[in-house]
Structures are given as C-alpha cells and as structure tokens.
Amino acid sequence: MLEPPSHNRHLLEPTSHNQCLHLTSNLAQRHETILRQRKRARDSYGQAERIVKRSRVDLKFGEVGDNVAIRIPLVDRGRGDPRNILGVILDCDEHNMYTIAVKSGIISSKYAMNQFELCPQKPLTYCNVNMECTMTLNLAVKAIASGGQRFFSM
C-alpha cells in the first residue's frame, strides 16, 4: 500500500483533539447557515405571492376583443413614430400571456399584463386587423404610416 509522503501526512491526520473539534464546529456553523438561508427563502416565497396578488389587483386582466396599447421600444421607432401601437387581444393562455393582433398582422411574441395598457375605447375590431400573417413588433411598427426606424442610402 502506498503511503503519503511525510510532508503531507499532517494534512490527513488531525494533530490534536482541538483541531478535530474546530473542524466539527465549522461544519455545524455551515449547517446552521444553510438552515437560515433556507428559512429566508421560504419567507421570501410568501412575499413573492403577495407581490403577484397585488399586481393582479392593480393590473386588470384583458379579455378577448379588448383594445390595448403596446409600448414600442426606443430602438424600434424613429423620432416621429408614435410611442405605442394599437392592437386587439386575440387569445389568453393559462399563464396569462396574451396574443395580440395589430392592423398589419398578428404579433408573434406573447405579452404579459404589464407590457400593455387596456384602452377604454374600442377603435379596432377583428374586421380591422389582418389575421392572415404573423409578424414581429418591429415589422408591425415599420408597417404603420411613418415607416419605423429605417435608413435609406443613395
């Protein structure tokens, strides 16, 4: 059997009873720290549930057929473009993610309640939107009157 070199032997065997107790106390401290962190995580889960409940009260659920205003990110709009685009809710899945259609087509990504605002008026209906094609929000912005943020070169 191979023996460890004599200079490494002190790493494998505790030299005294105090060193063994020190290792045991470090292990106990780590265990207590882990238990405290788990308890904090459980407490935080309750806070997360309260935050979700509060957001559901503050943000109204959209229904199929409601008109919404979707915010257009700065990178997707030009200086003269509107800040949002009007759409109509087509569908809502079990995770409260909404499928929205605009005049030029159905937007391919789904939206959560905090990503749009409900409009009290209903200027758009299913007749006014193109249900044939699916497009990104960027393409939908380019399709509106001002043309989106594009550059022309000669």
- Whole-number Å distance between alpha carbons of 73 and 84: 9
pTM: 0.59
% the chain with pLDDT above 90: 31
Show me where the domains of the chain are located: 15-58, 67-143
Task: Write the CB contacts of 148 (distance below 8 Å, at least 6 apart in sequence).
Answer: 76, 77, 78, 81, 138, 141, 142
pLDDT, tens digit, for every residue of 38-80?
A: 988 888 777 778 877 777 667 778 889 999 999 998 887 777 7
Query: What is the DSSP code (8-state) at residue 109?
Result: S
The pLDDT score that the predictor gives to residue 19 is 63
- Whole-number Å distance between alpha carbons of 85 and 68: 8
Q: Residue 146: helix, strand or coil by DSSP?
A: coil
The pLDDT score that the predictor gives to residue 108 is 94
pLDDT, tens digit, for every residue of 119-146?
A: 988 888 888 898 899 999 888 888 875 5
The overall average pLDDT reported for the chain is 80
